[in-house]
Amino acid sequence: MATFLPSQHRTQIDKFTADGNTDMFYLTHRPVSVYAVRIDGMYKKTGHVGKQFFFLGYEALIDEYTKTLSFAAPPPNTGKQDNIEIVYSYVPVNSALFGGAPSGPPAYTMYPTPAGATPTMPGSGPAVGARRSEVTGWEESDYLDYADFAKAVEADEPISYALCQWFMRQSYGNVDDAFTESDWLDWYEYALDHCPRFAKEQPKRRQWSIP
């Protein structure tokens, strides 16, 4: 699966089940860039604590410092499992980007907070190393397309022709690109295998070699 620039970043998909009472959920990792927040497949307008003033105009807020996803109102209990989904990138704790990160295994939490709990609002901004990264020239739709493609790869699902067209417009191998050459070729091969229409219009498949 392709990784997001910089090369130290990894993509994570956390899923939760709405119970109608909980409005805050702990993420597995500290997010750097958030690609999508969805409830029952519907995208939610998402802001960031420290950049937005409470929930004004936003349905969800990400707190990078406390690693939490909070909603303006508790998502309703629809009886579906894992119906809340957030796709984001993170920096592994042993990465040099964290500088003095403590040694030892990180503490992973995937459980929602008790009913009625409120998000913790830190007095300072995000921790060093948790700043959001951006891809030059990308708009919000590009991040959503990236998230959808990554989700399909993660689940080994078919890729839509529209996503293949988006992917073919992406450059790779340069410092400001979203893909390394190896990552781009991995996703290209995946698209060939998972979208017949795309594969049919591509030149005859040839062997790629990465020096």
| Alpha carbon distance 142, 147 (integer Å) | 9
- Give the C-alpha separation, 51 to 53, whole Å: 7
Phi/psi of residue 186, nearest 5 degrees: -60, -45
How many structural domains does the chain have?
Answer: 2
The CA-to-CA distance between both ends of the chain, in Å, stands at 19
The pTM score is 0.46
Q: Residues 124, 150: one domain?
A: no
Amino acid at 191: A
Q: What are phi and psi of 141, to 5 degrees?
A: -65, -30
110-119, 128-137, 171-180: least confident range: 110-119
Query: What is the widest separation between alpha-carbon atoms in the chain?
Result: 58
Q: Are 159 and 152 in contact (CB under 8 A)?
A: yes
**Domain boundary residue among 133, 164, 192?**
133
How many residues appear in the chain?
Answer: 211
Answer yes or no: is 44 within a domain: yes
Q: Is residue 210 part of a domain?
A: no
Q: Which two tokens stand for residue 106?
A: 């990180």
Task: For 38-88, write each residue's pLDDT tens digit.
Answer: 999 899 988 887 665 566 778 898 888 888 999 988 999 999 999 999 998
Tell me, yes or no, whether 32 lies in a domain.
Answer: yes
How many other CB atoms are found less than 10 A from the CB of residue 66?
18
The 10s digit of each residue's pLDDT in 179-205 is 888 888 889 999 999 999 999 888 755
Q: Looking at the structure, do residues 16 and 99 belong to the same domain, yes or no?
A: yes
Candidates 112, 138, 109, 173; CA nearest to 35 is 138
4: in domain: yes
Mean pLDDT score, 24-42: 90
Specify burial of residue 100 (Cβ count, 10 A radius: 0-12, 13-18, 19+).
exposed
Give percent of the chain with pLDDT exceeding 70.
70
Give the Cα separation of 77 and 69 in Å (integer).
17
Residue-range definition of the domain harbouring residue 170: 140-201
